[in-house]
Structure 1
Amino acid sequence: MQLNIKNTLKHLLSFLLLSVLWLNPQTDLHAQSFESNIDNQLNEIFDPEGPGAVFLVAKDGKTVYRKAFGKANLELDVDMTPNKVFQIGSMTKQFTAVGILILEEEGKLSLEDDIRTYISDFPVQGDRLTLRHLLNHTSGIKDFTKMKTIMQIARKDMSPKELIDFFKNEPIEFSPGEKFEYNNSGYVVLGYIIEHVSGMSYENFIEQKVFGKLGMANSRYASDRELIKNRAYGYHDRGGYTNKMWVSLNIPYASGSLMSTVDDMLIWQNALNSEELLSHETLQKAFTPGTLTNGENTTYGFGWHLKEWDGEPVREHGGSIFGFKSMGVYLPDQDIYVVGFSNCDCNSPTVVTREIAKIVLSELSE
């Protein structure tokens, strides 16, 4: 009788252990396998004694992987931690695009508005140039970051209008809607339009209408002067590590001047899947490919590249700004989000972020 009780207890404990392994993704053997795969990939890229990175993976809106690698500050020998704040570069464009859509939903502008509605002296050279063209990079205006004279203004704290005046009279590259060409100038103009229509600075608009509303407490307009808790410091590798080059953050402006953490970016991604900021119908405009005048579709919406992996829809965008690189990949059908930030522009997270997303797709979606 005593032996039977022991056997019964043994079977019961085994059953409970298997149940825990099945129900808890943190202890699931499958989850451990994908975690090891990600660790192996990232440990090969990021030197424990060099500039580092932070990566977060979420499935169904919940974090399943969150780790830091390398150093947040080389001079002070400070290890990277997952809560560090990074400059995110062109991932800023997602927020600018949503800002425009917020104003559209409030009835304060239309995507079909001509740019001259807001900047009367902008030379459109006979063609109609709309906010939609700016959002989906089909405007044809000159990208100021490709101008040979860019370094003349790189350290000047210019106003948005002064920055627009710097490039607005440059010859157009093509007629609006004729082709897709990634363009930072368009998002500078959109930032100015947000200010013009809302009566708020771009910084205040994004911080109040987006970061504050969503509880993204560690996201902000970037600054090299202010004290920012948990800041990751940026580096270059030019035959040896150096501190990042200083430029005025008024220059990347609405095309690339925001800061965030991987945790806040998950809050952002989850908010996009709800209606906290915009109706589903309005937000889908951002995830719809642009259409050229010849009827062809591009692979860009508003602030996101729109791709497919073997029939699986993918939304992604990266960022690059002096001393930092970033990348975010989202698989909407599987609700998988992967975001990676690096504090050296020598270590782009673009490729490995995509690889991690594919690992998660294969191992956690079965």
Structure 2
Amino acid sequence: MLRLPPALTPVLTLACAALCLSVPAAAQPLTPAERAAIERAVTGTLRETRVPSAQVAVVRDGQLVFEGAWGKAAETIPQARPDLPYQIASNSKQFIAALLLLLENDGRLSLDEPVARWLPDISGADRITPRQLLSHTSGLPDYWPHDFAFAATAEPVTPDQIIARWGRQPLEFEPGTRWEYSNTGYVVAARIAEMAGGAPLWQQLDQRLFAPLGIKPLPLDDTNAAGFPQGYHRYATGPVRPARPAARGWLWAAGELSMTAADLARWNIARINRQVLPPEDWEQMETPVRLADGSRTTYGLGVARRSAGGRTRIEHGGESVGFLSQNAVWLDQRTAVTVLTNADYGGAENALTNRIAAIVLPKLPPVPARVADTGGRVDEIRHVLAALAAGQIDPARFTPNAQYYFIPGALADYRASLSTLGAPLSISSTRSPWLRGGFVGRAYSVRYKAQRFRLSTYAEPGENGRWEQFILYAD
């Protein structure tokens, strides 16, 4: 039997224990058995995925009933703590959407007016609305579709530089006709918020959302420093390595915030209780938008709404360099689970969200297995995997950004990971292709005799489009 290293010893705040004892009788604090089950779920998942640390918060009956941290937060912080702010990245988008709704309530802007009122040089500005920016239906290309830091992110950037480079490219589709995730849209939306609100973005967020809730996030860029959780990366099954963060400015508005799981839980409580925003604004955020042909998406304004096992949850994920997070709210059950991790691999954030939900919610019925589709460039994937097993790639088949990802250390880790496994037994797609940032995204399951991987790819359109991303994750 494996013994957990000291770094996986849980840290729980005394405030949490006191809070759990003082909740009203109507609330249902976690039982000792539930707390023990959460601890087993977290420590087991960190061990399985080799993710260095996790921070967790649980809301039940609209009350914060649990917060804890496990593992190593950084090379200089061997024990994670619940009071350390983790990078929540795209979980920040719901705060941007909330701010624009408040500005609309003030009469300073309309979510359904043309963006041209504020930024006339944006492509399609006379046809795009702020609502479409917030719902990812604007057609603006995504400036960061990758799951790694591409070459340009090595240098600092400003919001206006992002807008000038990506916001003026040709639209990928007519506004309102398709859903395609776009970080660019949120940078444009936040600049509109600054102009309409007459103050910097952070000042408005703090005055209108953070201060009323008593939460104290930090700008994400400020937490890429000593004294804060450090992000980690892994190439295939290679060693876990500290990740090199992007330069300042790249996640502005698209992933602005670092905060504790408990702070994000307090935002979830506001959602559950319909506080800070009028109830109708919360409804707008949580209602999936319809496309021009009448079909409904699963995304509202800054959050997604998904149903599974007879329940509906409001959720979003977040990814920055070296960090993954997941935040889920079950409104009908007045329950929420927040999981923050300091690794951009492994899928611990999703696994833990589901495992903890199974502990704190009534048992869910089993979900039928997904039927895999075996189409989609499988033969070429086999060739790429064989080359990676030899520590090589064919540069002509990869874009400059993908070549930037495959540094010598990455190729060495891929070679060490794959060279002894032989040829894959099977490669099957796990979801239908999607479009993002001008690339075709695909996801696969790759099975060897002794190892399974998840493969995430983006490629230029067309049968022979070059690879923009080709990343294996140990499964």
User: Contact (CA 8 Å) 1:211, 1:220: kept in 2 or not?
Assistant: no
Alignment length, in residue pairs? 334
Match of 1:209, as an amino acid?
R
- Counterpart in the other structure of 2:286: 287
- Counterpart in the other structure of 1:79: 79
Q: TM-score, normalised by structure 1?
A: 0.84
Task: Name the CA distance, whole Å, in 1 between partners of 2:195 and 2:344.
Answer: 33
With over 3 angstroms needed to count, the CA separation of the structure-2 counterparts of 1:23 and 1:337, relative to structure 1, is closer
Deviation at 1:152, TM superposition (A): 4.7
- Counterpart in the other structure of 1:232: 229
- 1:158 alignment partner, SS class: coil
Match of 2:234, as an amino acid?
D
Cα shift readout 1:321-361 (whole Å, capped 9, x = no counterpart): 00111001100000010000001112430232023213321
Does residue 53 (structure 1) correspond to residue 54 (structure 2)? The answer is yes
With over 3 angstroms needed to count, the CA separation of the structure-2 counterparts of 1:334 and 1:157, relative to structure 1, is same
- 1:154 alignment partner, SS class: helix
Deviation at 1:155, TM superposition (A): 3.2
Match of 2:115, as an amino acid?
I
Does residue 267 (structure 1) correspond to residue 266 (structure 2)? The answer is yes
Which structure has more relative contact order (CA 8 Å, sep 6+)? It is 1
Task: Name the CA distance, whole Å, in 2 between partners of 1:55 and 1:225.
Answer: 19
Deviation at 1:61, TM superposition (A): 2.0
Task: Name the CA distance, whole Å, in 1 between partners of 2:78 and 2:51.
Answer: 10
Match of 1:356, as an amino acid?
I
Task: Name the CA distance, whole Å, in 1 between partners of 2:303 and 2:184.
Answer: 16
Q: How does 1:172-187 map to 2 (within 5 A)?
A: 172-187=171-186
Does residue 109 (structure 1) correspond to residue 109 (structure 2)? The answer is yes
User: Contact (CA 8 Å) 1:134, 1:190: kept in 2 or not?
Assistant: yes
Deviation at 1:45, TM superposition (A): 1.6
User: Contact (CA 8 Å) 1:188, 1:254: kept in 2 or not?
Assistant: yes
Task: Name the CA distance, whole Å, in 2 between partners of 1:107 and 1:24.
Answer: 39
Deviation at 1:50, TM superposition (A): 6.1
Structure number with bigger Rg: 1
Match of 2:59, as an amino acid?
A
Task: Name the CA distance, whole Å, in 1 between partners of 2:224 and 2:232.
Answer: 18
User: Contact (CA 8 Å) 2:123, 2:171: kept in 1 or not?
Assistant: no
Task: Name the CA distance, whole Å, in 2 between partners of 1:178 and 1:304.
Answer: 19
Cα shift readout 1:56-101 (whole Å, capped 9, x = no counterpart): 111012233322111112x335201122210101001011110111
Q: Which moved more, 1:233-242 or 1:128-137?
A: 233-242
Q: Percent of pairs identical after alignment?
A: 31
- 1:255 alignment partner, SS class: coil
- 1:120 alignment partner, SS class: coil
Deviation at 1:274, TM superposition (A): 3.8
User: Contact (CA 8 Å) 2:229, 2:342: kept in 1 or not?
Assistant: yes
- 2:96 alignment partner, SS class: helix
With over 3 angstroms needed to count, the CA separation of the structure-2 counterparts of 1:227 and 1:167, relative to structure 1, is closer
Match of 1:289, as an amino acid?
P
Match of 2:221, as an amino acid?
S
User: Contact (CA 8 Å) 1:140, 1:176: kept in 2 or not?
Assistant: yes
Q: How does 1:167-246 map to 2 (within 5 A)?
A: 167-217=166-216, 219-224=217-222, 231-238=228-235, 239-246=238-245
With over 3 angstroms needed to count, the CA separation of the structure-2 counterparts of 1:221 and 1:23, relative to structure 1, is closer
Match of 2:257, as an amino acid?
L
Unaligned runs of 5+ in 1: 1-21
Task: Name the CA distance, whole Å, in 2 between partners of 1:282 and 1:82.
Answer: 30
- Counterpart in the other structure of 2:253: 254
Q: TM-score, normalised by structure 2?
A: 0.66
User: Contact (CA 8 Å) 2:27, 2:61: kept in 1 or not?
Assistant: no
Task: Name the CA distance, whole Å, in 1 between partners of 2:26 and 2:193.
Answer: 46
Does residue 160 (structure 1) correspond to residue 166 (structure 2)? The answer is no
Cα shift readout 1:144-179 (whole Å, capped 9, x = no counterpart): 1148xx845313333222210010232221111111
Higher fraction of helix: 1
With over 3 angstroms needed to count, the CA separation of the structure-2 counterparts of 1:141 and 1:159, relative to structure 1, is same
Deviation at 1:316, TM superposition (A): 0.6
Cα shift readout 1:21-55 (whole Å, capped 9, x = no counterpart): x99955x7xx2333333222222221499610011
Deviation at 1:278, TM superposition (A): 1.5
User: Contact (CA 8 Å) 1:56, 1:338: kept in 2 or not?
Assistant: yes
Task: Name the CA distance, whole Å, in 1 between partners of 2:248 and 2:276.
Answer: 26
Match of 2:232, as an amino acid?
Y
User: Contact (CA 8 Å) 1:102, 1:277: kept in 2 or not?
Assistant: no
Task: Name the CA distance, whole Å, in 2 between partners of 1:351 and 1:62.
Answer: 23
With over 3 angstroms needed to count, the CA separation of the structure-2 counterparts of 1:124 and 1:81, relative to structure 1, is same
Task: Name the CA distance, whole Å, in 2 between partners of 1:325 and 1:225.
Answer: 15
Task: Name the CA distance, whole Å, in 2 between partners of 1:211 and 1:220.
Answer: 11
Q: CA RMSD in A?
A: 2.5
Q: How does 1:81-160 map to 2 (within 5 A)?
A: 81-124=81-124, 128-146=127-145, 151-160=150-159
- 1:144 alignment partner, SS class: coil
